[in-house]
Each structure stands twice: as structure tokens, then as C-alpha cells.
Structure 1
Amino acid sequence: MRRWDGHGLPPGAEARLDRFSPSGPKTSLLSVPGAVGAEIAGFTPLGEVMGCVVHQVGFAEATVWAADRIKVLADLLRQGYATALDRLAEEAAGMGADGVLGIELKTSSPDGEIQEYVALGTAVRAATRQRPGRLFTTHLPGPDVGKLMQAGWVPARIAIGVCGRAFTDPWEQPLVMRGWDNTEIRMATELATAVRSAARAEFAREIGGCGADGGIVSDVSFRLWPVHDVAVAAIATVTGTAIARFHEGPAAPTRALKILPLNRS
């Protein structure tokens, strides 16, 4: 067996593509409502797809300032998700898909020294003659994509904004005064606001960079922690789907049937 050089899909992903058959059985990560919604939107599920990458979490010297270490962690997060999504899209394209629905992004670190980034979704193909010009990726399930398209919008791709920073007190005063009354930590509040704002700004730039007209946020994660009691660090991530307007259609339905009538002719 040849050793993988890191380019293209890993051997395991290539093996999944080799086993894929357009006329064979299909697997899907979509729920029953999600699969029905995808069909209503004009997409046929082809199979589940995955992209993953495992990174080493590097250790910085103790003399490196906290802000530099946090920037490395933020860059790792950004790069990990981007690589996982690229490999997911490459596998879906190998199936002849037009897009990937219901994408979930996951991270795991069993020992703190390595970090795995995983993107999971269901590849779909347009059932109509008019097909998307390029493969799209979205966290949205089938019913939401159907509502978007009825309203004249189409998903473009997953967009992610990440920011990691650290602030330090030049006077080296303890951040937490044990036993004192409740009081605001102004430096931490300033950092939390700045990091969230910067992550949202990067999310907006990602949307504009792919030519989309807007974005739907699916998740906002945030973590803040003290560093040696004289600094505070934070990382924020904004994840969602960039969407583009393709025609001025009717408004999307705001209500959905809870019971499917069986007397339709």
C-alpha cells in the first residue's frame, strides 16, 4: 500500500469513492424530514461524505507572550476546519454531487497533543436540468434549503470566522481578587467584546469573498480564561452558511404541516 503524501484525498476516502455506485444503495445522515425536504427542494441524496485532518498542537516557549500563543491556536482552528471542508467537498465532487447538506463540524483532542477536525454531511445532486454552477456546502437541512430556494435564495458555502487574542495588565495586578465582592473585570469584558466582534467581521469577509449576498449563522462559540492571573485570553468562532440571491421569488413559507395528509390526489 502506497504512503499518502498529504495531497488529494486520504486513501480511506478514495476507497469510499471506489465503492460508490450511482445505481447502488445510498447512505445518508439526513433525518426523515431532512431527506423529504431535500427531495422537495429538488435534490437527491447520493451518500454521506466526510473530510478530516489531524493536527499536532504545538507548544510555545514559556517566554512567548500569551497573545502569540492564542493566535497560533486560532490559526490552527481556522486551518483545521478549512482543510476538513475542502476534503469533504472533494469527496462529494467525486460522486458527481452538486452540494452537501446538513454539515456538522466537530473537534476532538484525546490527549491534548493532537487535534482532529471533522466535517460530516450528505452529498446531494440536483434532480432538475438546471444545476448549480459550483458545488455548495451548507449546515442547513433539506427543509430549510427548500424554504430558502422558494424565497429566491441558494446556499453557497460554509463560512467561518475565528479570532483569538490575549490582553495583559501592564501593572500585573491579579485578575481575580479572592474573597472580594462581585465586580467587573474590565479588561476581560473589553477582550470578550473585541474577540466576538472580530470573529463576526471575519465571517462577513468570508461571505463577501465568495460573492454571496448574506449569511445564516448556525453557531457561535466562545471561550475565555485567565493566564497566570495577570492576563486573559479568549477565542471566538462564528460558523454559518453564505447565501446568494438568484431571483426575486415569493416569500418563504412560515408554517409547515405537522401532519402529512394521505388523501392527496
Structure 2
Amino acid sequence: MSFFGGNRGNTGAQSVVQTTHGGVPVDAISRLRRMRGEGGKPLFTSDLSVSEFVLLKELGMEPLGLVLGSSIYHVGIQYANYYANSELGVLTQAMYQARELAMARMEEEAATLGADGIVGVRLEVGGYAWAANALEFTAIGTAVGAPQGNDYRTPHGKPFTSDLSVQDFYKLHEAGYIPAELVLGTCVYHIAHQGFMQSMRTLGNNIELPNYTEAIYDARELAMSRMQAEAESHAAEGVVGMQIVEKNHIWQPHIIEFLAIGTSIIKRAQSKGVRPQFQIGLND
């Protein structure tokens, strides 16, 4: 797979970026292999704080490298009835597919490092002025390696993914649980506009707006049920650190994406109990 760039009017050589089958640039794979120690001394990169780095080492785990996946995705067009609440399935599918591409590329980078998991995963969505109808989806986190003899990978042999901080990961580990996968559910929803008579009836009154209430309820439920289905598909015991995020992105105000996201966990061992730690504040 290759991406071709350059000015159409330029008759010279075009730039070519070679990528893996999954879409990760070959140059990135070469860099990650050097980080593993091929041809020299191993070197890690991370977005961990010093405290997180020390806490990770206390678990016997090693940071291996900052890994990321990216996809700039053209989001299609779908029209909706101006006065009807409805999910916009085409847009929902686009948001799913773009995030999956970014996540898969991040996981491929982690696998290149020989990682057992990825902690502190962030899923970000942004845009560029030169691509008005496109969004960049980015997945980024720190790949980690587990102690010898400990298998933290998923049943499919992939590194676990988690948006938990290292502090929360440590507490989870001490309680006998491990992260399985970052699970999400999304729903892009058109919230119906009020008709003229409905607007007049509510003018100056304290009154519930049923069409808005029902739309928000329905959209959130769709997102949450899809996230729950992902967790159920790999026999998770639960989902922790869950968030529900609502954004308009590049659409008009009545079209909103509802994203439910969290880390699914599975029971691994008996709880060790989190050891109390003595701390002294140095502030006046």
C-alpha cells in the first residue's frame, strides 16, 4: 500500500510513502525495531510522568515506546428529516471505521515492539483547514512489556489496550484484575428541530421538551449498548473508567456524536490488596 503526493502540475518524481498492509509507514516500523535494540542499544519513549514510570517499574513492567495510529477520514453526507429524531447510520459507521483504523495501526506498532499491552490510550479527533469534510482520528498510548512468564495479551494474541492511567492500572492489578480491551460504542444522531406551534407553546413556560429528551436518551442508549456488546464479546467482567462524550465535530448543531468509551477488565488472580503508602505534602 502506498500514498502518493505532490503537485499535479509537477512533472518531476512524486513522493511515495511505503506502508505495511495495515497502513503503518515502513519508516515507523524501522524506527520501532531500532528502539527494540536491533542494531544497537534498546531505547524507549513514552508520555508517562516520572511517577507513572516508577510505578510501572514497581509492577515489574517496562515501557517500550510511544505508539500511535492515525487515519484521516472523509466523512460522508447523510440527510435527515428536519422534524424527526433519527440515527444517521452512514455517519455512525464512518466514525467507527476511522477509529478502528487508528486503533489497529497503534496496535500494530505495539506488536512490532513486542508489547503485552498499551496504557494511557487517548483517542482524539481533529480537523484541518485544507480538508473541510475530513477528520483525523488518532490513537496514542505507551506500549508496555510484562514480566517474563506473565501473559497479559488478549485471547487473540494482541496487546491489551486501556485508557486507564498507570496509577489506576496499578490499583487494578493489585486487586487481581487486568485490562482486556478499550471498548467503545458510538452513535451519530440527528435531533429534531421544534415546529413553530411547539415553539410557541413553550414560549415563556417551564416545560419539558419531549423530542429533545427522547433524542438524547435514545442516542446515549445506542452508544452505551454498543460499548456493552463489545465488552460482552470477549467475556469481560465489567467496564471501568467509562465516559460518555458528546461532540458536533464538523456537522451542524442538531447533529451530535455520542461516544461511550471505557476499559473492559477480566479477573486474573486473587486480590493482593492495595498497600497503603505514606505521603508528606511539601506545600505550605
**Range of TM-score over shorter length:** 0.7 to 0.9
Native 8 Å contact 2:20 2:26 kept in 1 = no
Cα drift, residue 74 of structure 1: 1.9
1:57 and 2:75 equivalent?
A: yes
Native 8 Å contact 1:101 1:123 kept in 2 = yes
Partner secondary structure for residue 88 of structure 2: helix
CA distance in 1, matches of 2:252, 2:171: 50
Q: 1:85 aligns with which of 103, 107, 116?
A: 103
CA distance in 2, matches of 1:48, 1:91: 9
Native 8 Å contact 1:192 1:224 kept in 2 = no
Partner secondary structure for residue 173 of structure 2: helix
Report what 1:155 is aligned to.
179
Report what 1:245 is aligned to.
267
Cα drift, residue 128 of structure 1: 3.3
Report what 1:143 is aligned to.
167
Native 8 Å contact 1:41 1:145 kept in 2 = no
Report what 1:20 is aligned to.
35
1:189 and 2:221 equivalent?
A: no
Cα drift, residue 249 of structure 1: 1.8
Unmatched 5+ residue regions in structure 2? 1-14
Partner secondary structure for residue 160 of structure 1: strand
Identity of aligned residues (%): 27
Cα drift, residue 242 of structure 1: 0.7
CA distance in 2, matches of 1:6, 1:57: 24
Cα drift, residue 7 of structure 1: 2.6
Native 8 Å contact 1:139 1:218 kept in 2 = no
Relative distance call for 1:155 and 1:44 in structure 2 (3 A) is same
Report what 1:263 is aligned to.
none
Cα drift, residue 181 of structure 1: 3.5
CA distance in 2, matches of 1:43, 1:205: 30
Q: 1:221 aligns with which of 245, 248, 266?
A: 245
Report what 1:99 is aligned to.
117
Cα drift, residue 109 of structure 1: 1.2
CA distance in 2, matches of 1:42, 1:173: 64
Report what 1:7 is aligned to.
21
Native 8 Å contact 2:77 2:91 kept in 1 = no
CA distance in 1, matches of 2:18, 2:25: 7
Native 8 Å contact 2:98 2:137 kept in 1 = yes
Deviations 1:217-260 (A, max 9, x none): 342112479x999xx5443111111100112324445x544349
1:128 and 2:148 equivalent?
A: yes
Partner secondary structure for residue 44 of structure 2: coil
Report what 1:115 is aligned to.
135
Amino acid at match of 1:102: G
Amino acid at match of 2:92: A
| Deviation >6 Å, runs of 4+ | 66-69
Cα drift, residue 203 of structure 1: 1.1
Report what 1:201 is aligned to.
225
Q: CA RMSD in A?
A: 3.1
Amino acid at match of 1:244: I
Amino acid at match of 2:35: F
Partner secondary structure for residue 24 of structure 1: coil
CA distance in 1, matches of 2:267, 2:56: 19
Native 8 Å contact 2:61 2:145 kept in 1 = yes
CA distance in 2, matches of 1:158, 1:69: 24
Partner secondary structure for residue 20 of structure 1: helix
Relative distance call for 1:113 and 1:209 in structure 2 (3 A) is same
CA distance in 2, matches of 1:236, 1:24: 41
Deviations 1:67-124 (A, max 9, x none): 7783222222222212111111111001111111111111101233110000111111
